[in-house]
Homo-oligomer: A and B are copies of this chain.
Amino acid sequence: MAEKPNFSGWSCPLPLRDYERIVIGHGGGGRLSAELVEHLFLPAFGVDPSEELRDSAVIDLAAQGLADSGGRLAFSTDSYVVRPLFFPGGSIGDLAVNGTVNDVAMSGAQPIALSTGFILEEGLKMETLARVATEMGIAAKLADVRLATGDTKVVDAGQADGLYINTAGVGLIPEGVDIRPGRATPGDVVIVSGPIGMHGVAVMSKRESLEFGTEIRSDSAPLNSLVADMLAVTSDIHVLRDPTRGGVTSSLCEIASTADVGIAYEESLVPVPAEVAAACAFLGLDAMSVANEGKLVAVVPAEQVDAVLVAMQDNTYGREACVIGKVVEAHRGMVVAKTTFGATRVVDLQLGEQLPRIC
C-alpha cells in the first residue's frame, strides 16, 4: 500500500483564486473550471500539467502492444446535470448520448461504445426514467453507437434533482488523423458548423418559463457523421471543438492559448438565429458564450476550406456551415473580434458560466 498522505495541513498548490469552497462557476467550463483542473486535479492525480488537454484522451494501442501499428482510441466522459430534464428539442437523455459522442468525435474518432452511469433520486417516477432511457436508446441508434455497459445508484429523496447521468465513450481514431487544439497554425481558417446559441437559450427559456414568441429548440445532435464526412475530404483537419459550456468563445480561447496563436473573427460572419439574438439581448447574454450541443468549431488549412465546407453543407448537421475567422500570427494566445461597427475587441474566457447547468 502506498502511504496515505496527511491532509490536516493541506493547502492549495496554487491559489484557486482564494476560493475555499466550490462555487457554481467551477463547473461552468470557463476560467474557474480550467483552474480547478490545472491547480487541483492534475497535481492530485500526478499528471503533468503541461500535457495538452483535450475533449478526449488518446490511448495508443500500438504502445500497449495490442495493435501492430497506429491504432489509437479516443476516450472521453461527461456528466449531465441539466435542469429541467426535458426542454424544447431535447432532454438529459439525448444530451448524455450526443455530448459524449461529440467529445469522442472531436478527436476525429468514430465512437464505438458508450457507458451509462445513472444516479437516481429515490421517488423518481419510473415513467420519467423510462422516457429518459428511451431517448438515450434513440439517440444511440441515430449516432450508430452501442450503449455497452452501465451502472445505477439510488440516493435519498431530495438529492440529485431527479437524476444525473454520466456517459463515457470509446472511439477509434483513423490512421493519419491528428486533431488537437495545439495544431492550429497561422493561416488556418475557422469554421462553425451552423447557427449558434440554440441549446443554451432553449434550456434557459424553458427553465425560467420565458417566452420569446418563437420557441427556440436545442440543437442537440450527434456530430460523428459530420466529422467522418469532413475527414473523407482531407485527413488534415487541424482542430475540432465542441462548443458546449462557455460556447464558441471558450473553444476559440482554448485553441488560441493551447496553440499559442492569435484568432481573429468577424462578428458579422457568426450565424446567430434571430430568436437567439433576441433572447440574448433580453437576458444580457453573449450568443458566442452560450452553450451548443450539435455544433462544432473547426480549424482547417486554408487550401482545404472550400472542399471541407462543401462536404459539411452536404451533411444534415452542417448545412449552414460557414467561415467566421482565421488563425493569425498577431496577438498570440488571444482571440480578437471585429465588431459589426468595424472596431476590434479582445474576447476572453468567462470566469464562470453565463447559464449554469445547461448540460
Contacts and interface: CB of A to CB of B under 8 A. Distances in A.
A22 B150 contact: no
A43 B241 CA distance: 33
SS of A interface (majority): mixed
A113 to B, nearest CB: 6
A170 B44 contact: no
Contacts of A166: 77, 79, 117, 166, 168
B79 A117 contact: yes
A77 B44 contact: no
B161 A77 contact: no
B44 A126 contact: no
Given A126-B20, A159-B159, A170-B73, A26 B152 contact: yes
B7 A131 contact: yes
A84 interface: no
A39 to B, nearest CB: 10
Nearest to A115: B77
A178 to B, nearest CB: 17
Contact of A61 (B12, B56, B61, B133): B61
Contact of A130 (B12, B25, B140, B156): B12
A52 to B, nearest CB: 12
Interface string A58-102: 010100101110010101111111000000000000000000000
A261 interface: no
Interface in A32-56: 33, 36-37, 40-41, 44-47, 56
Contact of A20 (B23, B116, B125, B153): B125
A77 B151 contact: yes
Contacts of A37: 150, 152
Given A45-B137, A137-B44, A168-B168, A123 B76 contact: no
A122 B138 CA distance: 33
Q: How many copies does the complex hold?
A: 2
A143 to B, nearest CB: 10
A47 B147 contact: yes
Contact of A148 (B23, B57, B118): B57
Task: Give the size category of A's interface with B.
Answer: 35 or more
Contacts of A133: 40-41, 44-45
A25 B7 CA distance: 35
Nearest to A78: B151
A10 interface: yes
Contacts of A59: 112-113, 148, 170
Nearest to A19: B126
User: Which interface residue of A4, A117, A118 has the most chain B CB atoms within 10 A?
Assistant: A117
Interface of A: 1-2, 4-5, 7, 10, 12, 16, 19-28, 33, 36-37, 40-41, 44-47, 56-57, 59, 61, 64, 66-68, 71, 73, 75-81, 112-113, 115-127, 129-131, 133-138, 140-142, 146-156, 158-161, 164, 166, 168, 170, 172, 221, 356-357
Given A25-B154, A28-B154, A75-B148, 8 more contacts: A24-B122, A26-B154, A27-B154, A44-B137, A57-B146, A77-B151, A77-B166, A79-B117
Q: Which 5 A-B pairs have the closest CB atoms?
A: A27-B154, A168-B168, A44-B133, A77-B115, A57-B148
